[in-house]
């Protein structure tokens, strides 16, 4: 069995990791680290676990576990790793943004691989340290990878994406408070969201000569979980050829489905799936990409990476069905 440890155990991504790992046939949870809840049952922070798991939070780590998931706030993973040492065999999967960019991937003799399986699967299989992608970044990159791989991105890409309130983390704030969020919508960090760095990095990995702009407007939605992203750009090829490129790119990627039908977010919520819909009007290609921000956009993808790192089928423990009603 793969022994796992979770750091930053009180947040949404940690809760999602626990829920999936509880039923993973080849993994077991060794500890869940939280300084604020040490000694208390996991169900104190994750109420849906009441009656399902008898384990308490701890403020100590087992340095010999097989894999550690870092679910800390952005910018805090480096300081944690500076203060806590793990065994030479321990694999580390960081769900924060500390190591996602090429300029940040080397840290304290560790070299982090960007953990988007549909892009870097071979490297992930041989990696010891993984930088898990951001949630918006996952949805947007999966929408664009086949175009970049084919070298047919030639104009700006306009992106509008809406995320649920869990994307803002578990700590309450003005824009996650129910009375503000309910029946409301707003944008934030327009044209400068932090995930643009990793998205641009990926596009240039596949299409180095791309010099146009990704114009991204992120929105806060009146729902808890999920991302609904629409992108449009100019593509001269007909729709049938574009669809063929997407289907070829994703033919060996079990969590991505390509369609020309209309799609909705409920088709993926609480799963590790991404569904991509393609339509064309004139020379404009519209791409719709939907994921669950906590699963494929965070914890599910982290477990997908763990599976690859340990030589398991990448779908192990991730056969999750959405609820359409």
Residues known to be catalytic: 135
CA 319 to CA 130: how far, in whole Å? 22
CA 57 to CA 197: how far, in whole Å? 34
DSSP symbols for 222-283: SSSS-EEEEEEEE--S-HHHHHHHHHHHTTT-TTEEEESS---GGGTTTSS-EEEEEEEETT
Q: What angle do CA 160, 226, 78 make, to 5 degrees?
A: 90
Beta partners for 234?
284
| Residue from 40, 92, 31, 29 nearest 60 by CA | 31
Three-state SS annotation for 93-157: EECCCCCCCHHHCEECCEECEECCHHHHHHHHHCCCEEECCCHHHHHHHHHHHHHHHHCCCCCCE
CA 293 to CA 269: how far, in whole Å? 8
SS3 14: helix
């Amino acid at each position: 069995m793969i022994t796992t440890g979770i750091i930053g155990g009180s947040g949404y991504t940690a809760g999602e990791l626990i829920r999936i790992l509880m039923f993973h046939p080849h993994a077991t949870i060794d500890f869940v680290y939280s300084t604020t809840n040490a000694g208390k049952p996991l169900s104190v922070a994750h109420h849906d676990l009441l009656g399902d798991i008898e384990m308490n939070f701890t403020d100590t780590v087992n340095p010999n576990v097989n894999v550690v998931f870092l679910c800390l706030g952005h910018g805090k993973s480096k300081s944690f790793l500076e203060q806590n040492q793990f065994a030479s065999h321990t694999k580390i999967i960081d769900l924060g943004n500390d190591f996602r960019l090429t300029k940040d991937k080397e840290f304290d003799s560790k070299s982090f691989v960007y953990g988007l399986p549909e892009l870097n699967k071979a490297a992930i299989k041989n990696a010891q340290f993984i930088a898990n992608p951001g949630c918006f970044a996952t949805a947007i990159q999966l929408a664009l990878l086949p175009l970049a791989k084919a070298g047919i991105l030639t104009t700006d890409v306009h992106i509008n994406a809406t995320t649920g309130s869990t994307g803002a983390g578990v700590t309450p704030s003005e824009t996650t408070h129910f009375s503000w969020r309910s029946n409301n919508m707003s944008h934030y960090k327009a044209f400068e969201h932090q995930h643009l760095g990793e998205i641009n990095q990926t596009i240039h990995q596949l299409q180095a000569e791309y010099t146009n702009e990704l114009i991204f407007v992120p929105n806060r939605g009146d729902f808890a979980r999920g991302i609904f992203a629409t992108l449009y750009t100019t593509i001269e090829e007909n729709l049938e050829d574009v669809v063929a490129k997407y289907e070829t790119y994703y033919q060996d990627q079990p969590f991505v489905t390509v369609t020309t039908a209309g799609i909705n977010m409920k088709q993926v919520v609480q799963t590790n799936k991404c569904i991509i819909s393609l339509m064309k009007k004139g020379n404009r290609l519209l791409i719709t990409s939907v994921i669950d921000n906590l699963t494929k956009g965070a914890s599910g993808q982290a477990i997908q990476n763990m599976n690859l790192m340990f030589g398991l089928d990448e779908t192990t423990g991730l056969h999750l069905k959405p609820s359409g009603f």
